[in-house]
Structure 1
Amino acid sequence: MAFYTVQARTNYYVDIGEGRPVLLLHGISNSGRAWAPQVPDLKAAGYRAIVPDHAGHGASGAVTAPFGVQELANDVEALIAHLGLDEFDVVGLSLGGMVALELALRHPERIGRLIVANSFERTATPQFKALAEGWAKIFEQPHGPVLRLEQNWPSLVSPAFQETAEGLRTWQVWHGIAASADGPSLAHVARGITDFDRANDLGKLAMPTLFIAGDGDGMSPPDLSRAMAERAGDGICHVIAGAAHISNVDSADEFSRIMLQFLGRASSPAVSM
């Protein structure tokens, strides 16, 4: 079944493959379809890919009040319970990376490996709050999600990827998803995520953690991922050359390669990959 219920809201997910479960968590204003490049790779490698749409995103139900990282993590916990998962790995990008960090700190005994890509340890700053408020105001405009995608596409994926056939296909798919997105819900999420702060808790991460960055990511620059890896208990960092903010899409082959290498490791030394 592709749906589960949380506090009278209906959330959507897909569950593909067999083997060790891997949760894939997407970024703000996107959907689980952003993980399309990695799902076949995980399945072929013998993993079970579980890909939810966050509340207010994709095919999941709308939200009617600010909805932050804590609430998004609560939803994923409900999905974990719905599926009866005991142990699993988590991969999150951008907002999804923040949710992944939250889950890892809540459930150190259940998450074997953690991958945090193009993400943040803290949003509880005046600068991020102003940035998120700007997103929210765009989302609230008529056809706001489409407007934001059109404005931000050049910074989301690399210029080289934008010109490829796969880049054009991705643009068309994401544009259609944005056209059917619920702008007020996305505004509630944008405003809700501005109180996240796990900067002082990274050393408590109990599992091997891989931080992925793109050297062309202006939103979450590589130095941020390097610093998080240094403070994590067992953290390493990999910077993808030529990648922008959605590195799993514009550099899909490299992302999948390092993801599968890390998930399959027997141990992970605290050095850069």
Structure 2
Amino acid sequence: MAYYLHEKRRNYYVEFGQGRPVVLLHGISNSGRAWSPQIARLVETGFRVIVPDHAGHGASARIGAPLGIEDLAQDVIALLDHLDIESAHLVGLSLGGLIAIELALTASARVDTLVLANSFPSTSTDAFRALADQWASTFRGNDGPVKRFEGAWPSNVSAPFRASDAGIATWQTWHAIAAMADGESLAYIAQGIVGYDSTNRLSTIEKPTLVIAGSDDRISPPSISRDMSLQLQCAKYVEIEAAAHISNVDSADAFNAEMIAFLVGTESIAQ
């Protein structure tokens, strides 16, 4: 099955492989297709890979009201329940990292480990509120998701990747996904995620965590990820040289090496 229902929302997911489950959580206005550089590597390493599209994103149904980080986290729990999965490794990038943090805080029994990539602990700052308002306004305009994608692309991935064959192919695929996206739904997400703050709760998270930053990430600078890793009880910090905000795509080999080594290492400890 490709869909599950939660709170009357029909959300899309796809899964690959067998073994311990890994759930990959994408960033705002993107989709599970952003994880294509990771899926084969995880499967060949022996993991069951589950890739959802957040509500209002990708192939998931449109939404008609704002949804917050807590709501998106509850969607993940509903997906795990739908698949009869007791717990899973969570890998989240940007918005996906916030969702993973919320799950570790409120449903820790469902979380084995965390990989927090190019993320941040709070959306309650004035700067983020202004950014989210700008996103929502763009999303609601004519061809809003496409315009936001085109404007954000240079900040999201590195210049060498943009010029590569893989970068051009990725641009074409993601551009088409943006062209089919529902701007109103994405605007509701942008509005709904504002005001979340886990900063003072990070120290309560006991799960093994890998925090990944990109040295050239202008959206979530390395200093934010480094600070998060210092607050978490059991965290390793890695900074990928020359990676931008979507480091799993523009620096896939380095990202995969760090992620796989971490997940395999924690699996070995658990056994």
- The TM-score normalised by the length of structure 2 is 0.97
Q: What is the distance in 1 between the residues matched to 2:120 and 2:77?
A: 21
Amino acid at match of 1:202: L
Return the offset for 1:107: 2.2
Amino acid at match of 1:211: V
Which residue number corresponds to residue 235 of structure 2? 235
Q: Secondary structure, in 3 states, of the residue corresponding to 1:90?
A: strand
Which residue number corresponds to residue 5 of structure 1? 5
Which residue number corresponds to residue 271 of structure 1? none
Q: What is the distance in 1 between the residues matched to 2:2 and 2:192?
A: 26
Which residue number corresponds to residue 42 of structure 1? 42
Q: What is the distance in 2 between the residues matched to 1:73 and 1:87?
A: 14
Which residue number corresponds to residue 56 of structure 1? 56
Q: What is the distance in 1 between the residues matched to 2:68 and 2:108?
A: 21
Which residue number corresponds to residue 17 of structure 1? 17
Task: Please tell me whether residue 156 in structure 1 is matched to residue 187 in structure 2.
Answer: no
The percentage of aligned residue pairs carrying the same residue is 53
Q: What is the distance in 2 between the residues matched to 1:110 and 1:27?
A: 21
Which residue number corresponds to residue 94 of structure 2? 94
Q: What is the distance in 2 between the residues matched to 1:225 and 1:267?
A: 24
Return the offset for 1:110: 3.0
Return the offset for 1:126: 1.4
Return the offset for 1:125: 1.4
Task: Please tell me whether residue 184 in structure 1 is matched to residue 184 in structure 2.
Answer: yes
Q: What is the distance in 1 between the residues matched to 2:84 and 2:166?
A: 36
Return the offset for 1:68: 1.2
8 Å contact from structure 2 (residues 208, 266) kept in 1 = no
Task: Please tell me whether residue 252 in structure 1 is matched to residue 252 in structure 2.
Answer: yes
Return the offset for 1:167: 0.1
Question: How does 1:147-226 map onto structure 2 within 5 Å?
Answer: 147-226=147-226
Amino acid at match of 1:238: V
Return the offset for 1:88: 1.2
Return the offset for 1:77: 0.9
Q: What is the distance in 1 between the residues matched to 2:171 and 2:58?
A: 16
For structure 1, which runs of at least 5 residues remain unmatched after alignment? 269-273
For structure 2, which runs of at least 5 residues remain unmatched after alignment? none
Q: What is the distance in 1 between the residues matched to 2:4 and 2:123?
A: 29
Return the offset for 1:266: 4.2
Which residue number corresponds to residue 113 of structure 1? 113
Query: Structure 1 or 2: larger helix share?
Result: 2
- Deviating above 4 A after TM superposition, structure 1's stretches of 4 or more consecutive aligned residues are none
Return the offset for 1:116: 0.4
CA RMSD of aligned residues (A): 1.1
Q: Secondary structure, in 3 states, of the residue corresponding to 1:11?
A: strand
Return the offset for 1:241: 0.3
8 Å contact from structure 2 (residues 55, 63) kept in 1 = yes
- The TM-score normalised by the length of structure 1 is 0.96
Higher mean C-alpha displacement, 125-134 vs 161-170? 125-134
The 1:8–1:267 alpha-carbon spacing in structure 2 relative to 1, beyond 3 Å, is: closer
Which residue number corresponds to residue 31 of structure 1? 31
